[in-house]
Amino acid sequence: MTSGTRTRGAAVIAVAALGLACAPPAAGQESYEISGDVVAVYNLAGTAHVVRGSGSAVVVRVRRGGGDAERLRVETGEIRGRQTLRVIYPDDRVVYEEMGRRSRTTLRVRDDGTFGDGRRGGGERVEIRGSGRGLEAWADLEIEVPDGVEFSLYVGRGDLSAEDVSADLRLDVGGGQVQASGIEGRLVVDTGSGSVQVRDVTGDLLIDTGSGSVDVAGVRAGQIDIDTGSGGVEGRDLIGDRLRVDTGSGGVELAAVRAPEVFVDTGSGSVDVELLADVEELVIDTGSGSVTVTVPEDLGAEVEIETGSGGIDLDFPVQVRRASRSHVVGRIGDGEGSIVIDTGSGRVRLIQG
């Protein structure tokens, strides 16, 4: 069963059947408590800010906006094994002014108000737009997540942020910027369009954006995985077992990296990687763009570098087995690791830090 408690304005409504009560929220807000180890929140339009909670339940404070705000409904309950809160929009056209007049996002929403959670099929087409005809309503959320909860947030359109949370988080938005900092736990960020900024994460980090830049720093993880359809990627102070960056178009800059496995793939764009420790495997592939890799003095690896057009510069001794202007195969140091660099066009530089 779902545990949910709602208060509105300064009044406190006790739900006797559940035996719960919330402290009064700020005027104009509604407050809900959702108890459970796995919790998901769904909202088509509006901002959301996630912080660490001190209680045992997830607390969601809802502030409605827009001329049709009173037509929104908030429902709670268990759906597919998760305790949920869903903001229900009773129209297939939603007007969210913060998007901007010409912006629009389309997605499929099920009758229960869920969407975008990996479950295929079902749901009616809903368009969220910045202006025009439709339900003029949105809901801004403030969410407190207690330690150890597996929490997912799904938003159609709006900016998301999370800070100082000790829980596994999923932040999923159709269109909007995402910022997260001070996260202890697995962090998954998925945005159809919009920039992503992440700081100080201890736990696996997975970022997927259709379009938009990605900026990450201060990550301690087993796995760091960044995928963007278009947009540059910048990373600093990254420590993990495996680092993978894949971008359809956009430059990649990675500094102060400590990971035995590093993979970078970009359709077009320059790549700049600074390694602070030896690697077991480094693979860089770019369709067009220069590649610069800075490595420590004690690097040891079998090396193969190939460029369709552009020279190859090596800043330290290499035991060369085959060499030409555009192709080098050889060994550095003890040769225990593997380095493969391939660019369709662009110069390749391998230099000591």
Would you say 54 and 97 are in contact if contact means Cβ atoms under 8 Å apart?
A: no
Output the pLDDT for position 121.
66
Instruction: For CA atoms 183, 189, 193, 198, give the dihedral sign.
Output: positive
Higher pLDDT, 12 or 177: 177
**Would the pLDDT of 27 be above 70?**
no
What is the pLDDT averaged over residues 293-304?
95
Of the candidates 240, 320, 233, which has an alpha carbon nearest to the alpha carbon of residue 275? 240
Query: What is the token pair recorded at 42?
Result: 């769904």
* pLDDT of residue 230 exceeding 80: yes
Q: Kindly list the domain boundaries of the chain, sorted by start residue.
A: 1-145, 195-353
User: How much is the pTM?
Assistant: 0.90
Please state, rounded to an integer, the average pLDDT across all residues of the chain. Answer: 92
Query: Residue 219 pLDDT > 90, yes or no?
Result: yes
Grade residue 191 by pLDDT with cuts at 50, 70 and 90.
Answer: very high
**Spatial CB neighbours of 118, under 8 Å, sequence gap ≥ 6:** none
User: 127 vs 3, which has greater pLDDT?
Assistant: 127
pLDDT at 16 over 50: no
Given a cut of 80, whether residue 7 has pLDDT beyond it is no
Residues 6+ apart with CB under 8 A from 316: 297, 332, 350, 351, 352
pLDDT tens-digit series, residues 58-74: 999 999 999 999 999 99
Mean pLDDT of 239-264: 98
User: What integer pLDDT is reported at residue 117 of this predicted model?
Assistant: 83
Task: Give the model's pLDDT for residue 119.
Answer: 75
Average pLDDT on 322-346 reads 94
**pLDDT tens digit sequence for 77-114:** 999 999 999 999 999 999 999 998 889 999 999 999 99
Using the predicted structure, report yes or no on whether residue 13 has a pLDDT greater than 60.
Answer: no
Give the span between the Cα atoms of 151 and 170, in whole angstroms.
6
| Pairwise CA distance, residues 212 & 176, whole Å | 10
**Is pLDDT larger for residue 16 or for residue 1?**
1
Q: Which pLDDT score is estimated for 19?
A: 33
* Contacts of 266 by beta carbon, 8 Å cutoff, 6+ apart: 245, 246, 247, 248, 249, 250, 251, 252, 285, 286, 287, 289
> Mean per-residue pLDDT for 168-172?
99
pLDDT band at 10 (very low <50, low <70, confident <90, very high): very low
| Greater model confidence, 2 or 117 | 117
pLDDT higher than 70, residue 25: no
pLDDT in tens, 29-57: 999 999 999 999 999 999 999 999 999 99
Sorted by sequence, the CB contacts under 8 Å of residue 120 that are 6+ apart come out as none
